Amino acid sequence: MRTQVAIVGAGPSGLLLGALLHRHGIDNVVIEQRSPDYVLGRIRAGVLEQVTVDLLHEAGVGERLAAEGLLDDAFVLAFGGQVHSIELFKRTGKRVTVYGQTEVTRDLMNHRAAAGMQTVYEADDVAVHGFDGGSPHVTWRKDGIEQRLDCDWIAGCDGYHGVCRASVPAGAIQTFEKVYPFGWLGILADVPPISHEIVYANHDRGFALASLRSRTRSRYYVQCSLDDKVEDWSDAAFWAEFAARLPPELAGRIVEGPSIEKSIAPLRSFVAEPMRFGRLFLAGDASHIVPPTGAKGLNLAAGDVGLLSRALAEHYGEKSDAALDDYSRRALARVWKAERFSWWFTTMMHRFPENGSFGARMQIAELDYLMSSEAMQTVVAENYVGLPL
């Protein structure tokens, strides 16, 4: 088989890249290790920046998003028993859209199937070859048969644990990482959200987050120890802890219900650079991870593939490699700014055991300053709604 662009990974970044390339008339094949059901079963974030929304519309998959997505003009900070609003639209002229990553993935899958684009699921032993020369190709086994896909370029959209970054020679890549000393215990429940705006809570007991997927489905989190296990948290224990970390006016709005999904996610900041190695490009979690506090993961991935799709369109349409040559620099400039914001927001909102009471008071001082400074609120709003592509 042969194609122009081989995309490794059928998560939202790989599928979005495929859809954008298809709009430019660029042939592509997606190779995915897992099954479609497994890919759709991943429970992830659901706050989309305007750049991401625009790219989904550009790719031709924005119809259901436009009909069902919930627009937010602000988000809420809760601390010291009080509720405060960070106004996004007032300060930036932009909003964020609440629409679950699972739904984004579903829309992209359906669009790819309807357009007749080729996707290989349940591919075993995926490997990338020849990207440091002129003959890049991808190999895998399907139903016990060895397969090979020759291509012009390889896009590594296969996540943090994927094969693409791991195939880069160690001397050609540099990594930066911070692992946080806690995780997030999250539940998904078919209950109405406590607020139509996302709530971030700083409390002596630890961080809490109230987000939503729709007007009838909520996604809630509490900061927990990395030693905690999901099975040790009953639904009742979660609801009690969640309520304890919210101001009374928000806690009183909680509607409890059985969890559909419950999991613990560790938090890390990670960047691998550069993001290009010959004819191999990295995008999304294959190159960078952010703690979910700033809602940047999916949005950064979308930004990566937006830049990459335009660079490839310029290569094939205008016979220019200028944008391809600049892809890594431009993508990393956005990545590091988002890493900074996510790190800052995480350190301000969570309890760090090693920082003690002094660290806790510094957080409150930072939050008090934030709410007293219009300039600071504008900075936060600009970062939250997302930087331009």
Query: Among positive and negative, which fits the CA dihedral 231, 286, 312, 134?
Result: negative
Residues 38 and 130 in one domain: yes
Nearest alpha-carbon partner for 382 in 338, 316, 330: 338
Residue type (1 letter), 36: P
Is the peptide bond preceding residue 274 cis, with omega within 30 degrees of 0?
Answer: yes
At residue 222, the 3 state secondary structure works out as strand
Q: Does residue 320 belong to any structural domain of this protein?
A: yes
DSSP 149: E
The number of beta carbons lying within 10 Å of the beta carbon of residue 219 is 23
Residues 275 and 246 in one domain: no
- DSSP helix, strand, coil percent of the chain (3-state; round to 5): 40, 30, 30
Q: Are 245 and 222 in contact (CB under 8 A)?
A: yes
Strand partners, 119: 30
Residue 314 sits at φ, ψ, to 5 deg, of -65, -40
Q: What is the pLDDT of residue 253?
A: 97
User: How many whole angstroms separate alpha carbon 34 and alpha carbon 120?
Assistant: 9
**Number of Cβ within a 10 Å radius of residue 182:** 21
Residues 169 and 186 placed together within one structural domain of the fold = no
Whether residues 284 and 211 share a domain: the answer is no
Total length of the chain? 389
Whether 123 and 246 share a structural domain:
no
pLDDT given at position 29? 98
Tokens encoding 78: 């809760």
214 and 247, same domain (yes or no) = yes
Position 70 scores a pLDDT of 94
Cβ atoms < 10 Å from Cβ of 338: 23
Bridge partners (DSSP) of residue 178 are 269
CATH number of the structural domain spanning residue 357: 3.30.9.10
What range defines the domain where residue 356 resides?
Answer: 180-264+352-366
- Give the pLDDT score at 44: 72
pLDDT score at 1: 92
Q: Do 306 and 244 belong together in one domain?
A: no
Same domain, 165 and 108: yes
**Strands in the chain per DSSP E:** 5-8, 28-31, 47-48, 70-72, 74-79, 82-87, 96-98, 118-120, 124-129, 137-142, 145-150, 153-156, 174-189, 199-201, 208-212, 218-224, 259-273, 276-277, 280-282, 288-289
Q: Are strands 174-189 and 28-31 parallel, antiparallel or unpaired?
A: unpaired
Helix (H, G, I), strand (E, B) or coil at 3: coil
How far, in Å, CA of 284 to CA of 159, rounded? Answer: 7
State residue 96's pLDDT score: 97
Q: What is the CATH number of the domain that holds 169?
A: 3.50.50.60
Pairing assessment for the beta strands 199-201 and 118-120 based on DSSP bridges = unpaired
Q: Is residue 235 part of a domain?
A: yes
* Amino acid found at 321: D
- Look at residue 340 in the predicted model and tell me its pLDDT: 97
Give the tokens for residue 246: 């919210």
Q: Which amino acid is at 272?
A: A
Q: Could you list the pLDDT tens digit for every one of the 389 residues in the chain?
A: 999 999 999 999 999 999 999 999 999 999 999 999 999 887 677 899 999 999 999 999 999 999 999 999 999 999 999 999 999 999 999 999 999 899 999 999 999 999 999 999 999 999 999 999 999 999 999 999 999 999 999 999 999 999 999 999 999 999 999 999 999 999 999 999 999 999 999 999 999 999 998 899 999 999 999 999 999 999 999 999 999 999 999 999 999 999 999 999 999 999 999 999 999 999 999 999 999 998 999 999 999 999 999 999 999 999 999 999 999 999 999 999 999 999 999 999 999 989 999 999 999 999 999 999 999 999 999 999 999 99
**279 and 319 co-located in one domain:** yes
The pLDDT, as a whole number, for residue 353 is 87
How many CB atoms are closer than 10 A to CB 64? 15
Question: Do 338 and 196 belong to one domain?
Answer: no
pLDDT value for 209 = 97
Domain count, the chain: 2
